């Protein structure tokens, strides 16, 4: 048995894989594979409508917000967000809390003035900056809610005098949020929503159409809203697997229940990191992520041996990102407490052997 | 049994579906689903490398051309091509041979001057314009090799004094081409290459970096070339299914063999349309597409009855696009001569009953 701690694309529920596999052979008694149905067919219309309805229900998305399924990942949104929200002569404010946050503001600089309100780069992004001031004259304030590489997460939405744009790629659907606190939320699906290849955008309609830019149609949120995410051929299968995953999430009790489980999973692992004399966390305690647990060894020379043990135990994706080193356990929604316990057991055994 | 004549996403070989379904449960003895493996894993690196190598082999892509697997479909390339190839103060030339060709030049107009060298719009795009002049002072000449909606195809590459950019979404891998005739070729995968969600780009490297534009990284072909299509998380599964489909194409004899079959399939159907007194083709005979066969009835009142018969026979996706009406049989690589014969039989029976 494998325990998939990969940072993304990542584990999804086994039930989802089973149904996703079946639909490749035959989708919903159509006599066709899901891969060969038209995106304009009634069968697929039903898929995209239910997917949207489930996102709306699970996240309590209020009226006045549109839900889109696009392509290109969060990296594409780094450019598409300023195209749609940053006036030609305007300014945007960004929080620099990690590699992706930094890529986001650098892409935005190609569209106008960017003010970085705070950065933790000098500390290798081990914490999330606080007590920064958001300029009231900027078009929007952008931040990354979970920093996948550094294992930090911002649980409290900053108070902001201007609309907030948030990259929630690695923690969306893992905990309760108040969508009305945001002007725009985007997320690559490949953590808690579905497989790689689709990007969720939730946008407040009345923020659009105010930049004075002549936006290419394919990058204009309004075109996608009008067309209900069918402006052009969407990533049919990635949306379908997201639907299966959202159904799974709803059936198990929705965000409230998954957040409860995620808190237990993260606490179990962080407790062991704190207790175990061989390991130590890399992120500031108050900013520790519930999705990506980053840790190293007090004695770095032992890290290779622990990775070998991890492989023997069927742990996948545990090696830390090169920017941090050591280990990163990504413990997304579909990862079970059984996998957490297996990791904790391995850490304890390793500590005993190397005491 | 279904006969899938859909225009795209469309039929792929049954063998491909079978293997594609299996990989969702377990991919290559990894103990993991293809949907949960990292795009940075060795297993996926091998996938993308083989996919690229097969495209290079099947289309004889010469040195000096890069092969990319991107997101966003051909519609995204309508904007990304001028970003990368049209200098700030430059001009591009476009041929207007259909709906998609027209969308392409309209998107390009947002980036500079566009000269439409010829258009068949006034004839509802029933033919491909010929004898146009391509201006030598434009940065590139763009055309659409197959017009999916109108059932026309341009088999001969126009002679051009400037680099040619071609949208081959609906006929790539269906017939032999000479890649060195082109500066850039792009294609949404969801016809002959794979499922929806990935876009093929073949680009001559030395055309890039000459526009003077500060291109967002995500839209800069050079960034994707440097990163070997792993600049950000790629659409893992869509690439994998494309690989399976390319392997199938190679095993059956490559482009030479599939072109031979496609010629027979198209001739069989066009012959029946010409022979049958109830039906008539809509495209100019010399421009008839081998991929999308458009036809109507001499008596439009009978069309509904034929569509009913088509449904009874398990024909899917035969209704014509609203811009043309009547019928459209999309007969891509994976559609067998058996399905063509079934359609011809139905047309003959219908003619006898309605004689």
Tens of pLDDT along chain A (355 residues)?
899 999 999 999 999 999 999 999 999 999 999 999 999 999 999 999 999 999 999 999 999 999 999 999 999 999 999 999 999 999 999 999 999 999 999 999 999 999 999 999 999 999 999 999 999 999 999 999 999 999 999 999 999 999 999 999 999 999 999 999 999 999 999 999 999 999 999 999 999 999 999 999 999 999 999 999 999 999 999 999 999 999 999 999 999 999 999 999 999 999 999 999 999 999 999 999 999 999 999 999 999 999 999 999 999 999 999 999 999 999 999 999 999 999 999 999 999 999 8
User: For residue B19, what are its two tokens?
Assistant: 């293997």
pTM of the full structure: 0.98
Helices and strands (H, E) in chain A, number of each type: 9, 14
Query: Looking at chain B, which residue has its C-alpha nearest residue A188?
Result: B233
CA proximity to B10, closest of B311, B333, B337: B333
Q: Are B253 and B333 in contact (CB under 8 A)?
A: no
Please give the Cα distance from A336 to A110 (Å, whole number): 42
Judge whether A100 counts as a catalytic residue: yes
Q: What ipTM describes this predicted complex? A: 0.98
Other CB atoms within 10 A of residue B230 CB: 15
Please give the Cα distance from A266 to A270 (Å, whole number): 6
Q: What is the pLDDT of residue A323?
A: 94
Other CB atoms within 10 A of residue A286 CB: 10
Instruction: Give the pairing of strands A292-297 and A327-330.
Output: antiparallel
Q: What is the pLDDT of residue A321?
A: 96
CB contact under 8 A, A37 and B6: yes
Other CB atoms within 10 A of residue A106 CB: 15
Size of interface A-B (CB pairs under 8 A): 182
Nearest by CB to B79, from A7, A30, A216: name it.
A216
Other CB atoms within 10 A of residue B322 CB: 7
CA proximity to B239, closest of B58, B81, B24, B50: B50
Average pLDDT, chain B: 97
Q: Are A328 and A146 in contact (CB under 8 A)?
A: no
Q: Does the annotation place B43 within a ligand binding site?
A: no
What's chain B's length in residues?
355
CA proximity to A157, closest of A169, A147, A144, A148: A144
Q: Which residues does B345 contact at the CB level (< 8 Å), separation at least 6?
A: none
Catalytic sites of B, residue numbers: 100, 167, 191
Other CB atoms within 10 A of residue B219 CB: 26
**Domain A3-7+254-353 classification at class level:** alpha beta
Provide the residue ranges of all domains of chain A, joining segments of one domain with +. Answer: 3-7+254-353, 14-251
User: For residue A52, what are its two tokens?
Assistant: 């949207």
CA proximity to B166, closest of A296, B174, B158, B86: B158
Query: Looking at chain A, which residue has its C-alpha nearest residue B70?
Result: A72
Helices and strands (H, E) in chain B, number of each type: 9, 14
Candidates A91, A106, A110, A191; catalytic one: A191
Please give the Cα distance from B314 to B339 (Å, whole number): 10
Q: What is the pLDDT of residue A355?
A: 82
CB contact under 8 A, A73 and B21: no
Multiple choice CATH, B14-251, 3.40.50.1000, 1.20.1070.10, 1.20.1440.130, 3.40.640.10: 3.40.640.10
């Amino acid at each position: 048995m494998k325990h998939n701690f990969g940072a993304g694309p990542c584990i999804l529920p086994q039930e989802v894989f089973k149904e996703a596999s079946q639909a490749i052979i035959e989708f919903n008694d159509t006599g066709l594979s899901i891969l060969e149905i038209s995106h304009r067919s009634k069968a697929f219309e039903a898929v995209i409508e239910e997917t949207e309805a489930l996102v709306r229900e699970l996240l309590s998305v209020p009226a006045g917000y549109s839900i889109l399924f696009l392509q290109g990942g969060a990296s594409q949104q780094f450019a598409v967000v300023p195209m749609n929200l940053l006036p030609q002569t305007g300014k945007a404010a960004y929080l620099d809390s990690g590699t992706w946050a930094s890529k986001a503001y650098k892409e935005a600089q190609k569209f106008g003035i960017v003010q970085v309100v705070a950065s933790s780069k000098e500390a290798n992004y081990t914490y999330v900056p606080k007590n920064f001031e958001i300029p009231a004259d900027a078009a929007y304030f952008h931040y990354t809610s979970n920093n996948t590489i550094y294992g930090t997460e911002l649980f409290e939405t900053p108070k902001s005098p201007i609309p907030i744009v948030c990259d929630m790629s690695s923690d969306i659907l893992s905990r309760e949020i108040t969508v009305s606190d945001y002007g725009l939320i985007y997320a690559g699906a490949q953590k808690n929503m579905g497989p790689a290849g689709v990007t969720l955008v939730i946008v407040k309609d009345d923020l659009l159409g105010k930049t004075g830019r002549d936006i290419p149609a394919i990058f204009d949120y309004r075109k996608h809203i009008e067309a209900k995410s069918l402006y052009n051929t969407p990533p049919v299968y990635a949306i379908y697997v997201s639907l299966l995953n959202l159904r799974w999430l709803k059936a198990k009790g929705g965000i409230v229940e998954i957040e409860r489980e995620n808190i237990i999973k993260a606490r179990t692992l962080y407790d062991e990191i704190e207790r175990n004399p061989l390991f130590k966390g890399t992120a500031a305690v108050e900013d520790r992520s519930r999705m990506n647990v980053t840790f190293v060894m007090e004695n770095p020379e032992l890290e290779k041996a622990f990775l070998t043990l991890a492989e023997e135990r069927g742990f996948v994706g545990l090696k830390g990102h090169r920017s941090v080193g050591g280990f990163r356990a990504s413990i997304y929604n579909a990862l079970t407490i059984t996998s957490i316990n297996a990791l904790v057991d391995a850490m304890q055994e390793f500590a005993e052997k190397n005491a």
